[in-house]
Amino acid sequence: MAHVALCSIRRLVLTVTIGLSILWGTAGFGQTGPVGWNGTWVAGWDRGAGIQVVFAGDQLVAFYWHEHYRDVRRSSPGKGSKRFAWDKSEATVTRTAEDTAQLVIREQGQPELSIALTRE
């Protein structure tokens, strides 16, 4: 009798474990793209033209361009992309994968510039 009860408990534990594994595993499939901006996104340091875009969570906290940190005057939220502006310029950064993004810079009187960023 004790053996039957022990086998039933083992089956129950195994069933619950498999069920939870499947449930948690399918939650990952529901994600449609990269999550969160938190971190430092960089490019160009190897060519002497460093760019740095820094996020704390999803909020832009610093932007380094042309050897200076820029005074970002406005930024707009968004999950897949963020827009921000400084002086007479603006930029849009768009996620391309979990640790990569595309930065497009538009400066007055200059051609539009597109730069691939990676998260450090």
* Cα distance between residue 8 and residue 26, in whole Å: 27
- Binned at pLDDT 50, 70 and 90, residue 103 comes out as very high
- Binned at pLDDT 50, 70 and 90, residue 77 comes out as confident
Is residue 1 classed exposed, middle or buried when 0-12, 13-18 and 19+ CB atoms within 10 A define those classes? exposed
pLDDT > 70? residue 40: yes
Among 27-41, 75-89, 99-113, the range scoring the smallest mean pLDDT is 27-41
Instruction: Give 54-100 as a DSSP string.
Output: EEETTEEEEEEETTEE----EEE--SSEEEEEETTEEEEEEEEETTE
Higher pLDDT: 92 or 21? It is 92
pLDDT > 60? residue 115: yes
Q: What is the DSSP letter of 45?
A: G
Q: How confident is the prediction for the chain on average, in pLDDT?
A: 80
pTM over 0.75: no
The domain segmentation of the chain, as residue ranges, is: 1-30, 39-119
- pLDDT > 70 fraction of the chain, expressed in percent and rounded: 71
Beta bridge partners of 49: none
> Does the CA dihedral 23-25-27-30 come out positive or negative?
negative
Higher pLDDT: 59 or 30? It is 59
